[in-house]
Structure 1
């Protein structure tokens, strides 16, 4: 008994929140929430055991602690400790996944990709083309290309297309077959099936220049057209 008293006196007293939790004077969920963010599960267990010893030493001899209450309290502290350990494990896993994504993204530097956008560049009379992402099969897909002045310079009738990413190899020529001058062009696309318009997304062809860290911690790809996209936004690597 003397050794137990000496051990308890030489250690830091338990917090009021933990006292309330064990004594049943506070909500169990609130106590668990308070300690779930801790990464010191061992400290919580040690504090609980010191508190349990104090309770046993000071209990009423005529009305000793119910064994079922002790079992319930032990289950509570084990649950809190398990939640704390789980949080640590999940944080480590999230950090590892982010690092893996950054490594994968770095491998794309220099690659040509299709990503959300509606522009197409013409250099030395050639273009890398563009693309369209369809939500479902369509019976008619039409693309209209305009120059920097907003004038229509070409119209592409691609007809029936299946759902998914549709790469378009565009030859930069006008309706008369004359080569278009170098520069940046924009395009729009419309698709239909059964007389109804089908939702779609236009895709620009760009080169990955760098990998950056976005505000949410995920890697972003800096593209040659000046935009930044996430890995999930890539429609194709061409």
Structure 2
């Protein structure tokens, strides 16, 4: 910043509109950090109007100030672009989240499945390695009895699904999984909670979904997978 611009920023040159003076002096030691493109134009015009006729502004200094003006304009344009990108990102996030509505999802940290209105159940679990066979035991929440055992075979490591069509509508069942490898060794199985997404909330810092049969909203980040999709 040359001496003329520094003097204007300090408020020692007359002819600068009061709004510009306020915007430059209110930031204290921050200097010109709060200036925008219009402020720069007002400063340069005031500098030309108040220059000493016997010592006119150095053309090189003036060129430098116009370069500063171009930089401010570029920063303003960049800020606008960033805001547009952020807005687009929010719209994209909303569109992606909206596709979850009506889908069955697996939620980390659970071991329950809720039967839909027609009594069907869709659940998921994760295996620590390939399994030659696995058994899913669906447990009545009231009696603790196993009401259905589903046998599965030749399962890969990672996420796997199961389903049952004869549950009681609206009933939330617990389930357990046991699996073995080709050598007969136990394979670690991780259970998930599950439910059907009926609403998405993006108004909070951490977006959430509402699931059928689950009383409290679930963070989107807790969704391990879409069951069957």
Q: Name the TM-score, length of structure 1 as normaliser.
A: 0.58
Matched, 1:167 2:161: yes
Where 2:20 maps in the other structure, the secondary structure is: coil
Contact 2:141 2:172 in 1 (8 A): yes
Matched, 1:15 2:7: no
In structure 2, the CA distance between the partners of 1:132 and 1:203, relative to structure 1 (3 Å rule), is farther
Task: Spell out, residue by residue over 1:190-209, the C-alpha distance to the aligned partner (whole angstroms, 9 max, x if none).
Answer: 779898986846141x3332
Match of 2:73 in 1: 81
Task: Spell out, residue by residue over 1:30-80, the C-alpha distance to the aligned partner (whole angstroms, 9 max, x if none).
Answer: x44x45xxxxxxxx223212211322344454584471x444443444333
Match of 2:105 in 1: 114
Note the aligned Cα RMSD (angstroms).
Answer: 4.6
Give the deviation of 1:186 after TM superposition.
Answer: 1.6
Q: Name the TM-score, length of structure 2 as normaliser.
A: 0.60
* Separation of aligned partners in 1, 2:144 and 2:177: 15
* Separation of aligned partners in 1, 2:71 and 2:177: 56
Matched, 1:90 2:82: yes
Where 1:14 maps in the other structure, the secondary structure is: helix
In structure 2, the CA distance between the partners of 1:128 and 1:27, relative to structure 1 (3 Å rule), is same
* Separation of aligned partners in 1, 2:76 and 2:188: 48
In structure 2, the CA distance between the partners of 1:75 and 1:26, relative to structure 1 (3 Å rule), is farther
Query: Counterparts in 2 of 1:1-238, with a 5 A limit?
Result: 9=15, 11-15=17-21, 18=24, 31-32=32-33, 34=34, 44-59=36-51, 61-62=54-55, 64-65=57-58, 67=60, 69-103=61-95, 105-106=97-98, 108-109=100-101, 111-116=102-107, 117-122=110-115, 126-133=119-126, 137-139=129-131, 143=136, 145-148=138-141, 151=144, 153=146, 158=152, 161-170=155-164, 183-189=171-177, 200=190, 202-204=192-194, 206-216=195-205, 218=207, 220-226=208-214, 227-229=216-218, 233=223, 235-236=225-226, 238=228
Match of 2:4 in 1: none
Give the deviation of 1:224 after TM superposition.
Answer: 0.9
The size of the alignment, in residue pairs, is 206
In structure 2, the CA distance between the partners of 1:106 and 1:12, relative to structure 1 (3 Å rule), is same
Contact 1:138 1:162 in 2 (8 A): yes
Give the deviation of 1:130 after TM superposition.
Answer: 0.5
Question: What 5-or-longer segments of structure 2 have no aligned partner?
Answer: 1-13
